[in-house]
Amino acid sequence: MAQVRQRIKQIAQSEASTVLLEGESGTGKDLVARSIHTESNRSGHPFIEVNCSAIPETLIESELFGHERGAFTDAKGRKAGLLELATRGTLYLDEMGDMNPNLQSKLLSVIEHKRFRRLGGVKDISVDVRFIAATNRNLTAAVERGDFRQDLFYRLKVFPITLPPLRERMSDLPLLVDFLLGELQKEFKKKIQGLSPEAYRFLTNYQWPGNVRELRNILERAFILCEGEKIEPENLPPELIATPVLLESGSFLFNIPPQGISLEAVEKDLIRQALKMCGGNQIRAARLLGISRDVLRYRMKKFNFI
């Protein structure tokens, strides 16, 4: 993230007209796009966000380029597009990977010639805009499949920033948790000291498929549910708790979900896993489970494994 911050600064102060942000959903792409804008000398001008997958294909072109009166049936008057509104500022194209190929080629032309026409217009309008495109999809693969124009991809990729998923930078977790709890404290005016060590261990044990956004949501929920001074495991959602945490002592910290569990099913599954890990070797599987071979055989019989 220190590298990411440095890139933000470099790019913000440069004349770079295109930036590509790549990263899974929730890794902070919107935040980075806004930082690039605020730290640049464009900050006094608009920051305009377009979500390429949220606007219907039939509308996005007139949204971006604007139109002249009568350009199409519903075009009652002249309308400036987002490109014009973003003049001297930044246009943030979110979920760029979903933009249709026809629009991709029009956009490339705008980026290269710094000019465009409104729909139905005959006059070229010049643009001074920085384009920041974001995607949570692998654009290289999309290019290979032919879903994304290679020339546009190379044009965008001149200044790339890749945001790592949270699970690959878990050393940032304490900082993020502190920061997010601080924000929640301001918002909810509730005196919560933080997380208990047990609750915190669940956070470090989780894979965070939804990244920082998921962390934020989970902390917010816990914050609201928490009645004591510290957030406890029972304030965390089941998907976090369902992953057992191996403690240093070697035992598991496993919170039983409200709907309960079947002890027998858990035991059966652990035995099955151990046998699989040891290629069916009962002596090693028993050792893995901390029981004797006889006990293991007894349970295997009970569960009809043998």
Ligand X SMILES: Nc1ncnc2c1ncn2[C@@H]1O[C@H](COP(=O)(O)OP(=O)(O)O)[C@@H](O)[C@H]1O
Nearer to Mg ion, 21 or 300 (CB): 21
How far is it, in rounded angstroms, from Cα 271 to Cα 17?
A: 59
Q: Candidates 21-29, 51-59, 75-83, 279-287 — which segment interacts with Mg ion by CB under 5 A?
A: 21-29
Number of other residues whose CB lies within 10 A of the CB of residue 123: 7
Q: How near is the Cβ of 257 to ligand X at its closest, in Å?
A: 27
| Phi, psi torsion values for 6, nearest 5 degrees | -65, -40
Rule CB under 6 A: is residue 212 a binding residue for ligand X? yes
Q: Are 119 and 67 in contact (CB under 8 A)?
A: yes
CB of residue 27 vs Mg ion: minimum separation in angstroms?
9
Residue 135 binding result from Mg ion, ligand X, none, given CB thresholds of 5 to 8 Å by partner type: none
- Owner of token pair 């026409």: 117
- Sign of torsion over alpha carbons 233, 234, 236, 242: positive
Instruction: Give the position of tokens 């003049």.
Output: 87
Q: At its nearest, how many Å lie between ligand X and the CB of residue 153? A: 19
Among 20, 28, 86, 139, binds ligand X (CB under 6 A): 28
Q: How far is the CB of 207 from ligand X (least distance, A)?
A: 17
Q: Which of 10, 16, 17, 25 binds ligand X (CB under 6 A)?
A: 25
What percentage of the chain's residues is helix, strand, coil (to nearest 5)? 50, 15, 35
For the bound state, the minimum distance from the C-beta of residue 287 to ligand X, rounded and expressed in Å, comes to 43
Is 30 a binding residue for Mg ion by CB under 5 A? The answer is yes
Q: How many helices (H) and strands (E) does the chain have?
A: 14, 13
Does position 89 interact with ligand X (CB under 6 A)? The reply is: no
Cβ count within 10 A of residue 171 = 8
Return the sign of the alpha-carbon dihedral for residues 92, 97, 101, 105. Answer: positive
Total number of residues that touch ligand X (CB under 6 A): 13
49 binds Mg ion (CB under 5 A): no
Q: Give the nearer residue to Mg ion in terms of CB position, either 96 or 222.
A: 96
Strands 115-116 and 125-126, bridge-based pairing: antiparallel
> What span, in angstroms and rounded, lies between the C-alpha atoms of 240 and 244?
9
Provide, rounded to whole angstroms, the least separation between the CB of residue 8 and Mg ion.
16
Q: From ligand X, Mg ion, none, which one binds at residue 297 (CB under 5 to 8 Å depending on kind)?
A: none
Pick 26 or 81: Cβ nearer ligand X: 26
**What are the residues binding ligand X (CB under 6 A)?**
23, 25-31, 176, 179, 212-213, 216
**What are the residues binding Mg ion (CB under 5 A)?**
29-30
